[in-house]
């Protein structure tokens, strides 16, 4: 299995707009330039896109990938969703609507904000608008060669969906993991997980908590993601144990 981190940043990206700009980051290190969170998960001939960040167009051009079997949504926050219009190019390339997997509440929210994306597709319209077909997830499911176990994660006052894909797991936007979620994560080979900042945050995990989770789950490899501009890549990397590293845009992770 191969995972590409399209965007390793938090909701504002790095640098952020405004006077805090690069925060604690060295602007000369390209690993500190972070777009908003999306990833690609591929195994054999199945390829999935998880979330459609506002930076999706640039991310897919950089990764040189534009053919997907499905799109999965973790939740409906703007930093994970607002690139939805760029799906139009993926529809055009594939010549079909794409299935969009998410919980009932995530898909309801997407359909109320982007109703035009979910209208019945008429082939004669030549994809003048993006087209998604909603697929509500409630339990384990399979897309091609990838077995997917979704689980609920606490994310501030709301929830997000974590996913286990075969031996790889993805937990973005989470500040609390239930026993049930920890049980699904146990035994995962590689885990990409939220680590927003050094300081506690009401809706994201922070460094000491994410390190605790890694101890509990003990994956072979952990990659810290959704990084704010307060985390300089080298400074954070030097602090972390050998099997844990910060994510960066364009990072490729191979899972045996």
Please report how close the Cβ of residue 174 comes to Zn ion at its closest, in angstroms: 9
| Lateral strand order in the sheet of 70-72 | 132-136, 98-102, 70-72, 46-50, 38-43, 2-7, 252-254
Please report how close the Cβ of residue 204 comes to Zn ion at its closest, in angstroms: 8
Please report how close the Cβ of residue 216 comes to Zn ion at its closest, in angstroms: 23
The verdict on 51 binding Zn ion (CB under 5 A) reads no
Q: Which stretch binds Zn ion (CB under 5 A): 50-58, 83-91, 167-175, 246-254?
A: 167-175
User: Among residues 47 and 204, whose Cβ is nearest to Zn ion?
Assistant: 204
Token pair, residue 130, equals 């993006």
Please report how close the Cβ of residue 61 comes to Zn ion at its closest, in angstroms: 22
Among residues 109, 173, 232, 249, the one that binds Zn ion under rule CB under 5 A: 173
Q: Which of residues 74-93 bind Zn ion (CB under 5 A)?
A: 77, 79
Token pair, residue 3, equals 């995972």
Please report how close the Cβ of residue 173 comes to Zn ion at its closest, in angstroms: 4
Q: Which stretch binds Zn ion (CB under 5 A): 42-50, 72-80, 90-98, 227-235?
A: 72-80
Closest CA to 174 of 187, 165, 183, 163: 163
> What single-letter DSSP state applies at residue 197?
B
Closest CA to 35 of 80, 101, 100: 80
Strand partners for 42: 2, 47
Closest CA to 173 of 31, 43, 73, 74: 74
Q: Number of residues in contact with Zn ion, rule: CB under 5 A?
A: 3
Helix ranges restricted to H, 14-114: 56-63, 78-81, 87-94, 104-113
Q: Which stretch binds Zn ion (CB under 5 A): 70-78, 109-117, 133-141, 194-202?
A: 70-78
User: Among residues 79 and 109, whose Cβ is nearest to Zn ion?
Assistant: 79
Token pair, residue 10, equals 């938090």
Q: Which stretch binds Zn ion (CB under 5 A): 38-46, 98-106, 172-180, 209-217?
A: 172-180
Please report how close the Cβ of residue 193 comes to Zn ion at its closest, in angstroms: 13
Residues 6 or more apart in contact with residue 205 via CB below 8 angstroms: 174, 175, 193, 194, 195, 196, 213
User: Among residues 77 and 164, whose Cβ is nearest to Zn ion?
Assistant: 77
Residue numbers of the site for Zn ion (CB under 5 A)? Answer: 77, 79, 173
């Amino acid at each position: 299995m191969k995972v590409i981190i399209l965007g390793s940043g938090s909701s504002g990206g790095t640098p952020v707009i405004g006077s805090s700009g690069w925060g604690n980051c060295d602007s000369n290190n390209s690993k500190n330039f972070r777009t908003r969170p999306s990833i690609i998960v591929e195994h054999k001939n199945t390829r999935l896109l998880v979330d459609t960040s506002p930076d999706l167009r640039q991310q897919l051009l950089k990764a040189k990938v534009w053919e997907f079997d499905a799109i999965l949504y973790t939740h409906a926050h703007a930093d994970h969703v607002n690139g939805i219009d760029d799906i139009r190019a993926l529809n055009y390339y594939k010549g079909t609507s794409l299935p969009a997997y998410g919980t009932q509440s995530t898909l309801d929210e997407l359909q109320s904000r982007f109703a035009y994306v979910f209208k019945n597709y008429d082939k004669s319209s030549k994809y003048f608008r993006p087209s998604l077909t909603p697929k509500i997830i409630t339990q384990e499911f399979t897309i091609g060669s990838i077995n997917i176990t979704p689980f609920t994660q606490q994310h501030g006052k709301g929830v997000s969906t974590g996913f286990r894909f075969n031996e790889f797991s993805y937990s973005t936007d989470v500040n609390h993991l239930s026993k049930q979620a920890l049980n699904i994560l146990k035994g995962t080979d590689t885990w990409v997980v939220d680590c927003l900042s050094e300081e506690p945050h009401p809706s994201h995990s922070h460094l000491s908590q994410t390190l605790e989770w890694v101890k509990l789950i003990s994956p072979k490899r952990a990659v810290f993601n959704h990084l704010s501009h307060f985390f300089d890549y080298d400074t954070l990397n030097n602090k972390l144990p050998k099997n844990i590293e910060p994510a960066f845009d364009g990072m490729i992770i191979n899972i045996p």
